[in-house]
Chains A and B, each alone.
Chain A
Amino acid sequence: MENYEINQRNFEEEFTISPNGFLFDHVSGLTYTLNKTGLFILRRIGEKKNASEIVMEITEKFEVSQERANVDFQEFLVQAKEFGVL
């Protein structure tokens, strides 16, 4: 599994994330909503985990195959990058 390339932002300083998935970006002033898996992923990216670690954690916690989790993870990254969150 390839790792992801992102423009790693400083999560601690630049974002406020509420436990139910509300995200405020202090830099852009924009707000977002994440579902629970989206939030799960974003938190792990913030912890600087690599792609295979994150996908593995997803499959451990949720009822999903590794293949599916990986595809969805990549798609999620595309979307988050496009928004400038990553």
Chain B
Amino acid sequence: MTVQKEYYEKPIIVRHTVGLTNKFGRNPASTPMKMIDGYQISKLIENFGSPLYVVSEATLKRKYKDLKRAFESRYPNVQISYSFKTNYLSGICAVLQNEGAFAEVVSIFEYEIAQRLNFKGDKIIFNGPDKSKSSLELAVANKSVINVDSFEEIYLLEEIAKERNEEIEIGVRLNMELNYPPWSRFGFNYENGQAYEAIKRAELNGLLKVVGLMVHAGTYVDDVQVYQKMALKYVEFYRIIHERLGITLKYLDIGGGFATINTLHQSWLPATQTCPGFDDYAEAICPILLNGITQLGVNPPKLFMEPGRALVDEAMHLITSVISTKRLSTGEKGIVVDAGINLLSSNQWYRYEMQVTQECGTMVENTNVYGNLCMNIDILRNAVPLPSLRRGDSIIIKNVGAYNFSQSLQFIQFRPAIVMIRFDGKVELIRKREDTNYLLQLESVPQDLKK
């Protein structure tokens, strides 16, 4: 007779400390998250290896639709333009493109990603402080939306206008006092009159025509009053340039910056309680713009927005597996997992939520989660309440879609594969795991040193 043996948990003993126990019973940290969009996480690891980034197409679509609805129900003419830098995986950009998003790019690399995805030129917004003459020529030829960041760009565009013998339409990026710290190094300052001077200067020679204004307040702005202030200043500035310079705008661009449900390190409350919804942002911005602009006697210009984080943060997760478990000399519990901080740059801002993906018992202990980089600084998080894990068990680090992939570094290890769980439930590889050939293909060894 064979006896069914019991599930084995690694034995632990935890000393109670005042403040650690609570009245909620089973700690949510010990409740496994076994599936993403109905797909078994264990299957994903089996098929694609660990670590693994997993993108949810359903979440991307839902976020896009929610944002669009929130603004379109309050303003007549809205266009979302996805901020590529947040995560320029082609698969992700393509999902948002199919939903109707424009591309917001800040480099020739990002511009070329958009071109390869067949974004039409006039559906690309070209921003950023580093636009070469050749990249501006390309953007002008393609009729892309160009928001100038500096006087140098105004001069370059004048040259291009002369060479092409045509007037070029531009937008002007402004910075204004909205929050702390102010993003004052991009574009032209509103309060000290520099923005007004830049517009006057741009139109001086009849080569450029100012048709848009753009402001980006910062990133993870969880105070809707910031956008309210922006809307008020936009209305006031529009009045000034309309009355004094006779300018009629085709668009106002409010940038990105909407917050997500990830909690910042310095925050006491979980962001699920503090993060405004899309409706809150829209309500802060749209009525002020619409009323104010209507009073000027002009049609409301198109409202561009450039969200990044708000669309992708919650649409991607990182699955990583336990390599070893440690009991530190301090008595603290540690685990080493197969993903390092090189894959999780926003770890410096966020207290990422981590959860086991299989049953590991119900008792949790504060656990330090270390990466696999052989560097002392490679700490994914300290003191995460986790149940007792064994080598091979995996955890999911949730909502890592914004900036982590685009800022990921290849360091020591190969960067992992990335899969997308499609809307129909199928899984597709959208980026292969790196390998040595791929990483060394740009290098060469001087001929005389070769063995």
Interface residues of A (CB under 8 A from B): 21, 23, 30-38, 40-42, 58, 60-64, 68-69, 72-73, 75-76, 78-80, 82-83, 85
How many Å from the CB of B358 to the closest CB on chain A?
A: 14
| Alpha-carbon separation in the docked complex, A72 to B6 (Å) | 16
Once the chains bind, are A72 and B14 in contact (CB under 8 Å)?
no
Closest to A82 in B: B331
* CB <8 Å contact, A30 and B388: no
Does B15 interact with chain A (Cβ within 8 Å)? yes
Interface of B toward A, CB cutoff 8 Å = 5-16, 325, 327, 331, 361-363, 388, 390
Beta-carbon nearest neighbor of B331 in chain A: A82
Known: A63-B5, A78-B327. A37 touches B14 (CB 8 A): no
Q: Please tell me if the beta carbons of A72 and B10 are within 8 angstroms of each other in the complex.
A: yes
Given known A-B contacts A34-B13, A35-B388, A80-B13, A64 and B363 have beta carbons under 8 A apart: no
Closest partner residue, chain B, to A85 (CB atom): B13
Cross-chain contact B7 with A63 (CB below 8 angstroms): yes
Which 4 A-B pairs rank lowest in CB-CB distance, beginning with the nearest?
Answer: A62-B8, A37-B11, A64-B8, A38-B11
Specify which chain A residues have a CB less than 8 angstroms from the CB of B10 in the assembled complex: 37, 72, 75
Additional A-B contact list (19), CB under 8 Å, known A33-B14, A37-B11: A21-B363, A23-B13, A31-B16, A34-B13, A34-B14, A35-B363, A37-B12, A38-B12, A38-B13, A60-B5, A61-B5, A62-B6, A62-B7, A63-B7, A75-B10, A75-B325, A75-B327, A79-B327, A79-B331
Cα-based distance from A62 to B10 in the complex (angstroms): 11
Determine the residue in chain A with the shortest Cβ distance to B20.
A33
Taken together as a complex, chains A and B put the C-alpha atoms of A48 and B13 apart, in Å, by 19
Contacts of A42 in B (CB 8 A): 13
The contact sample of 30 A-B pairs, CB cut-off 8 A, is A30-B15, A31-B16, A32-B13, A32-B15, A33-B363, A34-B12, A34-B363, A35-B9, A35-B361, A35-B362, A37-B9, A37-B10, A37-B11, A37-B12, A38-B11, A38-B12, A38-B13, A61-B5, A62-B5, A62-B6, A63-B6, A68-B8, A69-B8, A72-B11, A75-B325, A76-B11, A76-B13, A79-B13, A79-B327, A83-B13
**Closest Cβ neighbor of A25 among chain B residues:** B15
Contacts of A30 in B (CB 8 A): 15-16
User: Chain B contacts of A58 at CB under 8 A?
Assistant: 8
Q: Find chain B residues with CB under 8 A from A60 CB.
A: 5
List of B residues within 8 angstroms of A72 by Cβ = 10-11
Most chain A CB inside 10 Å of its own CB: which residue of B11, B325, B327, B390: B11
A35 and B16 contact, Cβ closer than 8 Å, known pairs A21-B363, A61-B6: no
| A33: chain B residues within 8 A (beta carbon) | 13-14, 16, 363
B7 and chain A: residue at smallest CB distance: A63
A76 touching B16 by the CB < 8 A rule?
no
- Residues from chain A with a CB closer than 8 A to the CB of B5 are 60-63
In the complex, which residues of chain A have a beta carbon less than 8 angstroms from the beta carbon of B390? 68
How far does the alpha carbon of A85 sit from the alpha carbon of B11 in the complex, in Å?
A: 15
Q: Nearest residue in B to A28 (C-beta to C-beta)?
A: B15
> How far does the Cβ of A25 sit from chain B's closest Cβ, in whole Å?
10
Expressed in whole angstroms, the minimum distance between the Cβ of A17 and any Cβ of chain B is 11
Residues of B within 8 A of A76 (CB): 11-13
* Docked CA distance A76–B13 (Å): 7
A32 and B11 within 8 A (CB): no
Give the distance to chain B from A51, nearest Cβ to Cβ, in Å. Answer: 13
Do residues B6 and A32 form an inter-chain contact, with CB atoms below 8 A? no
B6 CB contacts on chain A under 8 angstroms: 36, 61-63
Tell me whether A41 and B16 are in contact (CB under 8 A): no
State A74–B6 Cα separation when bound (angstroms).
21
Closest to A78 in B: B327
Would you call A79 and B12 a contact (CB within 8 A)? yes
Cα distance A23–B12 in the bound complex, in angstroms = 12
State the CA gap A76–B388 with chains docked (Å): 12
Shortest distance in angstroms between B283's beta carbon and chain A's nearest beta carbon?
47
Q: How far is the CA of A54 from the CA of B388 in the complex (A)?
A: 20
Q: Which residues on the A side are within 8 Å of B14 (C-beta)?
A: 32-34
